């Protein structure tokens, strides 16, 4: 089911519950860097296409590298934490480092038409489903 | 921090027990670094997906309250297939000590990272004492 947000309060809660239920979804098959690696991602379907929403707070656009080959998407990059010279540290919860993750999708995507957007620490990848992968209506002769 | 070690996913921590939210949705605690320089305290929080207009920073009774809301409309018409993290608004609060000048709190938001600069009051800055 698709979500339409008329009431921003109830629906967010329902949406959070729906996301929780899919935490053990096996839509992405196990692969070397399947689940649990950085950066964490959510995958959605929007009409025929797939949208990947990835949280990368503090990662600059220029530090991200996205590659697509067949139906495998690779996301690599570096997250730099500014240390700011002479500062004493009271609390450290953010972590920096490098990441490299490859995801193999169970559908065929049109690699030439993939769009990527990075805004406010969220990377969104729009993956159009390949025409040849779309279901076709068969008319009965 | 070494930049070449692989990053691991940090599970989001839910905000619990504040008892002031009247909506059922879950709030999350943004990962936060706090550093002190000579004249200010820097509070750096990760709030991915939050636009600058949806950040609310308040000082009430010596408590700094930060609330950052995501835009759920971006998820309109999207059906989740596979998830690794949950989405929600962010909230966190900090008690301010008297060394902070409450009139001089600055904030910037870049790539989902909110940086608050809390200036220290004049008396709290380190001073060099000359021997008379």
DSSP B23: S
Residues of chain B in contact with residue A2, where contact means CB-CB under 8 angstroms, are 76-79
Higher-scoring residue by pLDDT: A24, A98: A98
Instruction: State pLDDT tens for residues A27-53.
Output: 776 555 555 588 999 999 998 899 999
Q: Is there a contact between B13 and B78 (Cβ–Cβ < 8 Å)?
A: no
**For residues A65 and A100, what is the distance between their CA atoms, to the nearest angstrom?**
9
B80, closest residue in chain A (CA to CA): A44
Which of B46, B51, B75, B87 to probe by mutation at the A interface, max A CB count within 10 Å?
B75
A91: nearest CB among B34, B76, B87: B34
Residue in A with minimal Cα distance to B75: A3
Query: Burial level of A62, CB count in 10 A (0-12/13-18/19+)?
Result: exposed
Q: Tell me: pLDDT of B69 over 70.
A: yes
Mean pLDDT of chain B: 86
Chain B residues close to A100, C-beta within 8 Å: 6
* B102, B120 Cβ separation under 8 angstroms: no
Q: In chain B, where are the structural domains located?
A: 26-72+87-122
Burial of B90 (C-beta count, 10 Å sphere; 0-12/13-18/19+): buried
Question: The tokens of B129 are what?
Answer: 């004492």
Closest CA relative to residue B101, chosen from B91, B116, B87: B116
ipTM of the complex: 0.81
Count of A–B CB contacts within 8 Å? 200
Q: How far are the Cα atoms of A110, A131, A132, A133, A139 from residue A136, in angstroms, in the given order?
A: 17, 10, 9, 9, 9
pLDDT(A2) > 90 = no
The CA-atom distances, in angstroms, between B46 and each of A17, B77, B96, B102 are 23, 26, 20, 22
Please state which CATH number belongs to domain B26-72+87-122. Answer: 2.60.40.790
The answer to whether the CB atoms of A43 and B6 lie below 8 A apart is no
Q: Please, which residues 59-118 of chain B have a Cβ atom closer than 8 Å to chain A?
A: 72-73, 75-89, 109, 111-113
Lowest mean pLDDT among A77-81, B16-20, B91-95: B16-20
**Which domains are delineated in chain A?**
28-82+96-133 (2.60.40.790)
Distance CA A133, CA A49 (A): 11
Distance CA A104, CA A22 (A): 18
Which pTM value belongs to this model?
A: 0.82
pLDDT, tens digit (0-9, with 9 covering 90-100), for B40-61: 999 999 999 999 999 999 988 8
Tokens of A77: 């990059």
Chain B neighbors of A47, CB-CB under 8 A:
77
Length of chain A: 141
Whether pLDDT at B1 is above 50: no
Secondary structure (3-state) at A126: strand
Q: Which two tokens stand for residue A86?
A: 């002479």
Of B38, B46, B78, the CB nearest to A57: B46
Q: What's the rounded mean pLDDT across residues B7-22?
A: 73
pLDDT value for B62: 87
A106: phi then psi, degrees, rounded to nearest 5? -80, 10
- Coil, strand or helix: which one is B101? strand
Q: Higher-confidence residue: A136 or A39?
A: A39
């Amino acid at each position: 089911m698709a979500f339409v947000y008329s009431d921003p309060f109830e629906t967010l809660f329902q949406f959070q519950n729906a996301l929780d239920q899919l935490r053990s979804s096996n839509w992405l098959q196990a692969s070397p860097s399947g689940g649990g690696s950085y950066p964490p991602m959510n995958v959605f379907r929007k009409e025929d296409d797939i949208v990947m929403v990835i949280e990368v707070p503090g990662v600059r656009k220029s530090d991200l590298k996205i590659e697509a080959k067949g139906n495998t998407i690779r996301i690599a990059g570096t997250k730099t934490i500014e240390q700011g010279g002479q500062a004493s540290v009271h609390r450290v919860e953010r972590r920096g480092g490098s990441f490299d993750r490859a995801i193999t999708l169970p559908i065929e995507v049109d690699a030439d038409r993939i769009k990527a957007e990075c805004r406010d620490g969220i990377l969104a990848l729009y993956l159009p489903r390949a025409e040849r992968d779309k279901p076709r209506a068969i008319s009965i002769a | 921090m070494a930049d070449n070690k692989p990053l691991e996913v940090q599970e989001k921590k839910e905000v619990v027990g504040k008892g002031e939210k009247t909506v059922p949705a879950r709030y999350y605690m943004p990962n936060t670094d706090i550093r002190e320089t000579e004249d200010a305290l820097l509070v750096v929080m990760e709030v991915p997906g939050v636009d600058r207009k949806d950040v609310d920073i308040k000082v009430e009774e010596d408590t700094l309250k930060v609330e950052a809301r995501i835009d759920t409309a971006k998820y309109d018409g999207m059906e989740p297939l596979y998830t690794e993290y949950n989405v929600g608004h962010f909230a966190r609060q900090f008690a301010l000590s008297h060394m902070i000048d409450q009139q001089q709190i600055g904030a910037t938001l870049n790539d989902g990272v909110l940086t608050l600069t809390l200036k220290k009051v004049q008396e709290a800055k380190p001073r060099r004492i000359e021997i008379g």
